[in-house]
């Protein structure tokens, strides 16, 4: 496995030149496009790490999986999915159009920004700080990494420039899709997106999901088997934005990407995978990250289909 990961890094080195580092959040624009990392966590707890796996980046949309799990634990899946749907959109991750044109009573799914902002509003806690702390603590527990933190600079940058998300949230508030304080829900959302991780951390999240909700290295159950099943299914249909269908055909693994350049993947009953390459395609997915997953999937016959 170690040799395979190293050759995957080698084979995809040139791809970092394609695409662009996200810059609509100004601080993300400072990311180094040459970084390329991969990590695999097997379900016996063994880990394989190659390339720039140690480089930190913000979770961005990968955090939507963390908050979805926590919201289901807090409120129950029936309640959560009465407020957010389970259908892919075929539109961009920050699209606003369906909310008005289709007069939706809830956003399509928890992996697009509109849905994720509603999910953030469901996280329990007496104060915003407490809600954010619960998300960070939950991420620390799943990754067995107590040093995980919010990157405050990225958070500032997101919140200064997050007007599209603000527009989505206020529009949903005006239609009673989002209840409570918009600014508080956005603060939770921006901060969860700004949680900083490395590729090993995200491969551990994938491993817990691959292992039906149990941490492979301790045997501790983190989420129910049913929640793990729901989350992995939504990752298949919606996790790679409007590229989810193509990703399912070519790679066939439940996965969630983020505009920070990371992709978290969970191969049911086999392994968790974390890949990182900050240059993105026009849909917002890491170009080298997708190619590395494709190579790994082919070599190890990982497609679930």
| Residues in contact with ligand GLU by the rule CB under 6 A | 60-61, 93-94, 113, 158, 165, 193, 258-259, 284
Q: Considering the complex, what minimum distance in angstroms separates the CB of residue 258 from ligand GLU?
A: 4
Q: Reply yes or no on whether 61 is catalytic.
A: yes
Among 241, 256, 275, 286, which one carries the catalytic annotation? 241
Token pair 């799943």: residue: 142
Alpha carbon distance 82, 170 (integer Å)? 19
- Name which of 94 and 140 has its Cβ closer to ligand GLU: 94
Q: Considering the complex, what minimum distance in angstroms separates the CB of residue 302 from ligand GLU?
A: 23
- Long-range CB pairs of 251-254 (<8 Å, 24+ gap) are 251/290, 251/293, 251/294, 251/297, 251/302, 251/303, 252/297, 252/302, 252/303, 252/304, 252/305, 253/293, 253/297, 253/302, 253/303, 253/304, 254/209, 254/304
Q: Reply yes or no on whether 95 is catalytic.
A: no
- Name which of 88 and 284 has its Cβ closer to ligand GLU: 284
- Name which of 165 and 203 has its Cβ closer to ligand GLU: 165
Among 150, 154, 188, 259, which one carries the catalytic annotation? 259
Q: Considering the complex, what minimum distance in angstroms separates the CB of residue 284 from ligand GLU?
A: 5
- Name which of 48 and 93 has its Cβ closer to ligand GLU: 93
The token pair that represents 99 in the structure block: 């909310």
Q: Reply yes or no on whether 189 is catalytic.
A: yes
Q: Considering the complex, what minimum distance in angstroms separates the CB of residue 270 from ligand GLU?
A: 26
b/e code 160-186 from CB counts within 10 Å (16+ = b): eebeebbebbebbbeeebbeeebeebb
Mind telling me the catalytic residues? 61, 64, 189, 241, 259
């Amino acid at each position: 496995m170690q040799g395979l990961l190293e050759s995957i890094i080698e084979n995809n080195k040139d791809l970092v030149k394609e695409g662009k580092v996200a810059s609509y959040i100004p601080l993300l624009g400072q990311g180094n496009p040459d970084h390329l990392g991969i990590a695999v966590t097997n379900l016996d707890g063994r880990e394989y790490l190659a390339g720039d796996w140690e480089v930190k980046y913000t979770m961005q949309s990968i955090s939507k999986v963390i908050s979805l799990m926590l919201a289901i634990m807090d409120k129950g899946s029936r309640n959560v999915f009465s407020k957010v749907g389970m259908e892919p959109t075929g539109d961009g991750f920050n699209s606003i159009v369906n909310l008005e044109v289709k007069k939706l009573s809830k956003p399509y799914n928890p992996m697009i920004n509109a849905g994720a902002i509603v999910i953030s509003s469901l996280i329990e806690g007496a104060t915003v700080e407490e809600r954010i702390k619960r998300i960070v603590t939950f991420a620390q527990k799943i990754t067995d990494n107590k040093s995980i933190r919010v990157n405050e600079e990225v958070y500032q940058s997101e919140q200064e420039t997050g007007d599209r998300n603000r527009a989505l949230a206020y529009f949903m508030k005006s239609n009673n899709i989002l209840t409570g304080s918009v600014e508080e829900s956005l603060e939770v959302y921006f901060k969860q997106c700004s949680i900083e991780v490395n590729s090993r951390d995200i491969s551990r999240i994938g491993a817990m999901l691959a292992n039906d909700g149990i941490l492979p290295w301790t045997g501790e159950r983190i989420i129910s088997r049913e929640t793990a099943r729901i989350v992995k299914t939504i990752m298949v249909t919606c996790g790679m934005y409007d590229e989810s269908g193509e990703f399912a055909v070519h790679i066939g693994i439940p996965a969630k990407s983020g505009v920070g350049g990371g992709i978290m993947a969970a191969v049911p009953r086999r392994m968790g995978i974390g890949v990182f390459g900050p240059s993105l395609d026009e849909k917002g997915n890491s170009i080298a990250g997708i190619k590395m997953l494709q190579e790994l999937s082919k070599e190890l016959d990982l497609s679930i289909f």
